[in-house]
Amino acid sequence: MQELSQTRLKYFYEVLNSGSVRAAAERLALSPSLISRQIQLLEQEVGFTLFERRKGRLEATEVAAVIADYYRGYLSSQEYLASRLSEIKGMQRGNVKVAISEGVAEMMVHEVLMPFYASHPGVHVELMMESVNSIIDKVRTDAVHLGVCFNPPEHSEIAVLKKAEQPVGVVFRSDHALADPSRMLHLAEALRYPYAMMTADYGLRRYINLIEFQHKVKFDVALTTNSLQVLKQFVLSGAGVALMASPILWGSAMQEQTRLRHIEDVTLNAPEFCLLSRKNRPLSTAALHLIDAIKNRLSVFMSN
């Protein structure tokens, strides 16, 4: 097979990620006809169809997935080479993209990034808050270098660089009826109250769904949201309670106004905060240094 055109691969990858030729053309500031022609030429180069139109939308073929993996590897190798060359020149520079769960955003900035910038002033970090499903997808497709999230599902393409168990408990306002510490909190009592919960694509909700399945119960869900701040405000308002991991409360004003109690008869293993990257992805020196900083400074990994 002849050497593939990197320009055509770039256009192909943009179509794959954008979902359509028109969207890719807009992002690249090119005409759709030019993009379509380059995709056709790439198909001739590889000898396979890369996209099929079904129900009015483009769907990538199995070969397209193979080509995408190849191109992601090429981009990672390019980035790694640039990093090594900069290292040889004695420059501490680089760009690192990290997708994180909202619950660790504040501690990530204060515990990791502030001291990291002091020792790596030339490194730029792009920090994005995402659901656990989105974090897995972004790490898998090399949209980000690293992910930090709560209770991620296992994935064959994802490497767990560090993990730490973080038990989940019921969080309530300090004047709530559950605040009596003299007796244990059992699941039957915890089920009596209305809950605010994250949407299904978050690790916290995945764990709650597992509790319901394992114990054959249903929580009374009064509010569903994709915002941890909304979850906290629901609890602070006194409208109900929520299930959270205690690190989410650390260092916040909410820590002074709420209490957390673990449910004694929930028998599941505690979920974990995890640091993730794609398996076998070459990482730049800047990314490797940030990994070390996260492992050694982020309190969710140091509490166990």
Measured in residues, the chain has a length of 304
Do 92-164+272-301 and 169-268 fold alike per CATH?
A: yes
Q: What is the pLDDT of residue 249?
A: 62
Q: What is the pLDDT of residue 250?
A: 60
Instruction: Look at strands 57-60 and 168-173 and give their pairing.
Output: unpaired
Architecture of domain 6-68: Orthogonal Bundle (1.10)
- List helix spans (H) across the chain: 6-18, 21-28, 32-46, 62-88, 105-107, 114-119, 132-140, 187-190, 203-215, 228-236, 254-257, 285-297, 299-302
Q: What is the pLDDT of residues 76-112, one digit of tens each?
A: 888 888 877 776 565 567 889 999 998 899 899 999 9
Work out the pLDDT band at 129, boundaries 50, 70, 90. Answer: very high
Query: Is pLDDT at 27 greater than 60 in this prediction?
Result: yes
Which pTM value belongs to this model? 0.74
Work out the pLDDT band at 212, boundaries 50, 70, 90. Answer: very high
What residue ranges do the domains of the chain occupy? Answer: 6-68, 92-164+272-301, 169-268
Q: Does domain 169-268 have CATH number 3.40.190.10?
A: yes
Lowest mean pLDDT among 66-75, 80-89, 174-183, 187-196: 80-89
Architecture of domain 92-164+272-301: 3-Layer(aba) Sandwich (3.40)
Q: What is the pLDDT of residues 234-256, one digit of tens each?
A: 999 999 999 998 767 665 667 77
**Helix (H/G/I), strand (E/B), else coil: 178:** helix
Mean pLDDT over the full length of the chain: 89
